[in-house]
Structure 1
Amino acid sequence: MTTLPQISLAKLSADATRHEEQQRLRNACEVYGFFYLIEHGIPKEQIADAIDASRRFFALPLATKERFGHAAQNVHPTIARGYSPLYGEILHPEAGRDPKEVFDLGIDNEGDRRPFAGRTLFPDEALAPGFARSLLALQATVLREVVPQLGTALADVIGLEQGWFQRYFSPPTLEQRVIRYPARGGTCAKHTDGGFFTLLLQEELPTRSLQVWLRGRWMPVPSLPDSLVVNLGDMLQALSDDRFKSTPHQVAHNGLTDRISLPFFIYPDVDARLTSLEGHHTFSVAEMMLRNYESVETGNGAGRARELQ
């Protein structure tokens, strides 16, 4: 049994159950910084289609995948989109390069030259059947069914003014990742996430690869059927004046099969400048995101990785 709480998105969205579920959400944010999200409304078949298509993409020859790497992407920063091979990034400087493969995408907007915007160069349908199509369909569902409802609830339990989430997340900034952890040794080193919150969609495997730092130890987080894993990011911790926890986590995958992971990192509008309720923290979203990406690119780690021993 895991000690992570379960939060129902359906109950957060219903008048009759909202208050009680928000109390449970507040406790989860203050104590854990991680929780399972159930009754979330994303069809299981849609997640399975994206996982299957991603597995087929990663099975392509390396030279083929590298045609869609960072250098081929017409976005800023370039590492925000496209393919990264095994040992392509460092999330904690002491751990070195992570043995995992990644493909990054975001919300496509032709002609938008702001940081983290633009269009992703995908392999076409003939080369990678269903890859772009299933990932973008899943993105549309997540942005429609989950992000506004959960984001509004989080803003409410922090105590931000009514309408705050709609004001600063119209539109949100999205980093959507597809990650393949190889069998018997795929890892993602310890780090924190930099954004507002992260949604993790994953395969229901018997291995407990995800680990969360709680109560002075690494706690394994097993897959729970029909649930998402949600964790809070550094921006949300700052906006809560450090009442809510952006909790360190890592992946250590030793299963007999590869593991496909589909995280969605949710940030405010890239042009926003935000101040916490009590005024202890003020930051530019673009500046904070760019610093974090530069830290990863230079091997200094992600989020508050450098604080984690």
Structure 2
Amino acid sequence: MKAVRFSRFGGPEVLEIVELPDPLPGPGRIRVAVRAAGVNASDWKKRAGLMDEGLPQVLGYEAAGVVDEIGEGVTGVAIGDRVFGFCAEAGAQAELAVLAHWAPIPRSVGFAGAAALPAAVETATRGLDRLGVTAGRLLLVNGASGSVGAAAVQLAVARGARVIGTAGPAHHDQVRALGAEPVSYGEGLAERVRALAPDGVDLALDVAGSGVLPDLIGLTGDPRRVVTLADFAGARTHGVTFSRGDDGRALHTLAGIGELIGTGRFALPAVRTFPLDEVAQAHRSGETGRTRGKIVLVVG
């Protein structure tokens, strides 16, 4: 099968499309013929040598495709089913991938849209779960217009929470459409939030980083009511919980997102697609920070 791999660290030019042996699904896993695979910031961080040290490396953890082989003990799925989910190990950016966690793709969703979901909804749900977001709570999401932030807003609203979301002025209409009350980020954030919520907020989820943790602590009144997904150093300095997944993943969200999409309570993120063999250009586009929406590689 064809797959994305790099054998040395560096820029996008180190990425190669190589032939690798077809993977086989072990017990409790399935194999899919990949139709689309998500690209994340962690991919170019790995490629640059900022994360894993081993070489060579294959890339990709989220995929959407058609089941073509089923491992021992797997039930509830059949060959030919359309599914999306997470790879057991890296390797989703390939013609075949083994999934350890998966769910059916909603009928109204194409492969590229489905491949844009796993990381965003899992990360957002994990943050909401850590905070204990429930109906009636007032949540501030810092970074509400990105893929994870937008997912967090919609999932929190679906739980019955009131949400205030930070975003640049150009994205306020988008944030409002997701169900949140938009405020601009930057200096004076706390005052703008208090104009909407004079007593502050119950909980705060930091998706974007940008040094706002002191403001979030001030607005919630307690660092234990703040979770950051983006600011590891700030979390240590201010006593805030930092979640990156090694404290347990919220994989349960894959099974429930289809219903929210079907009932109109969750809108898919914008997607920009690239063919698999243009993965280097996909990295360049993502690293500039100017691409709106989720980058997805289309396979086949």
TM-score (norm 1): 0.29
**TM-score, structure 2 as length reference:** 0.29
Say which structure, 1 or 2, has more relative contact order (CA 8 Å, 6+ apart). Answer: 1
